[in-house]
């Protein structure tokens, strides 16, 4: 094929003198014409996939976990696989380089979606290897039973209350959540392409009761009312709520503690008002979905922490 293209170019030069017609070289697949790997040292293959599933931060193999493979274009289920004792599993089907896939790890509350593009391989591996390797990282979920809600250094316990008339009609509160679980545990976010939901970590408060509509909130990511319930909340930092330890030190940004602030204007509340503010921390949750589905944060949403406070005037 290469000599044909060269001959055509020479012929055009002889016929047209110095006026060579403009040719879009980009329209030719030079890799197919001349052979080789396109300059990146990699070649496209059509092989079975070998998935290697490990725990993020810890690096240990995750055995006996179910991986479901979905076609990235049609979302049709391709196959379901269970990892072995070493965390690996081979696909039954072959997949071409560049193929878009979604892989779902079904691991209880540590579910996660992966967006995968089947890679190319170097030429030597392409010739000798039976499988195209795909590394995936699951995780061990942390423990989040310790949270803290306070104003000006004063803590308000779960089932406690705050009176705006006595302590200030506009107040800034700090909510802190801590991972008290083992090192190298935490939270991971992903996107569910089947139901088109963000699997975020959300700190959300549902306000109900007499005068619920009078409390005004500031400094949050979302704020909406459904019926007689007012929802407010913030997207938490999943990395900060994870504990990644190397040696004796935690990696910066992965120390297992995250805080947020909210300012509440309770000027409109009267002595007869009583607002129940129930704070929940959800994983695998989507605030947009909640706004359009009656306050449900998604079929996969799971509460990992809860704190209830009564607001009065």
Q: Which of 263, 272, 264, 265 is nearest to 313 (CA)?
A: 272
pLDDT digits (tens, 9 = 90+) for 76-85: 999 999 999 9
pLDDT greater than 70 at residue 46: yes
**pLDDT confidence of residue 3:** 44
**pLDDT confidence of residue 38:** 54
**Domains and their CATH numbers in the chain:** 42-138 (2.60.40.1120), 146-312 (2.60.40)
pLDDT greater than 50 at residue 116: yes
Strand order in the sheet with 146-151: 154-155, 146-151, 170-178, 257-265, 216-218
pLDDT confidence bin for 20, thresholds 50/70/90: very low
pLDDT greater than 80 at residue 145: yes
pLDDT confidence bin for 37, thresholds 50/70/90: low
Q: Which of 203, 228, 186 is nearest to 297 (CA)?
A: 203
pLDDT greater than 60 at residue 4: no
pLDDT greater than 80 at residue 148: yes
pTM score, two decimals?
Answer: 0.84
pLDDT greater than 50 at residue 18: no
**pLDDT confidence of residue 41:** 82
pLDDT confidence bin for 108, thresholds 50/70/90: confident
Pair type for strands 229-235 and 222-226: antiparallel
pLDDT greater than 80 at residue 29: no
- SS3 sequence of the chain: CHHHHHHHHHHHHHHHCCCCCCCCHHHCCHHHHHCCCCCCCEECCEEEEEEEEEECCCCCECCCCEEEEEECCCCCEEEEEECCCCCEEEEEEEEECCCEEEEEEECHHHCEEEEEECCCEEHHHHHHCCEEEEEEEECCECCCCEEEEEECCEECCCCEEEEHHHHCCEEEEEEEEECCCCCCEECCCEEECCCCEEEEEEEEEEEEEECHHHCEEECCCEEEEECCEEEEEEECCCCCCCEEEECCEEEEEEECEEEEEEEEECCCCCCCCEEEEEEEEEEEECHHHHHHCCCCCCCCCEEEEEEEEEEEC
**pLDDT confidence of residue 168:** 85
């Amino acid at each position: 094929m290469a000599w044909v293209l060269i001959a055509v170019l020479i012929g055009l030069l002889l016929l047209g003198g110095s006026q060579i017609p403009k040719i879009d070289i980009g329209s030719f697949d030079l890799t197919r014409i001349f052979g080789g790997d396109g300059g990146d040292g990699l070649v496209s293959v059509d092989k079975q996939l070998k998935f290697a599933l490990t725990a993020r931060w810890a690096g240990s193999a995750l055995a006996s976990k179910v991986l479901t493979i979905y076609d990235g274009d049609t979302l049709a289920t391709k196959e379901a696989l269970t990892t072995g004792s070493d965390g690996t599993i081979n696909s039954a089907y072959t997949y071409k380089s560049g193929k878009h896939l979604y892989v779902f790890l079904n691991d209880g509350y540590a579910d996660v979606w992966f967006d995968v593009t089947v890679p190319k391989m170097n030429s030597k591996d392409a010739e000798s290897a039976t499988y195209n390797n795909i590394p995936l990282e699951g995780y061990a979920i942390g423990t989040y039973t310790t949270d803290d809600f306070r104003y000006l250094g004063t803590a308000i316990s779960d089932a406690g209350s705050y009176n705006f008339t006595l302590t200030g009609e506009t107040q800034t509160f700090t909510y802190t959540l801590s991972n008290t679980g083992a090192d190298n545990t935490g939270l991971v976010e992903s996107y569910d392409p089947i139901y088109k939901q963000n699997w975020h970590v959300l700190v959300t408060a549902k306000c109900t009761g007499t005068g619920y509509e009078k409390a005004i909130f500031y400094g949050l990511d979302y704020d909406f009312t459904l019926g007689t319930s007012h929802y407010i909340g913030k997207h938490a930092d999943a990395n900060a709520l994870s504990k990644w330890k190397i040696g004796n030190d935690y990696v910066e940004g992965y120390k297992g503690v995250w805080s947020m602030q909210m300012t509440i204007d309770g000027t409109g509340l009267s002595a007869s008002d009583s607002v129940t503010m129930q704070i929940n921390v959800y994983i695998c949750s989507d605030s947009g979905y909640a706004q359009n589905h009656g306050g449900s944060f998604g079929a996969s949403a799971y509460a990992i922490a809860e704190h209830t406070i009564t607001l009065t005037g």
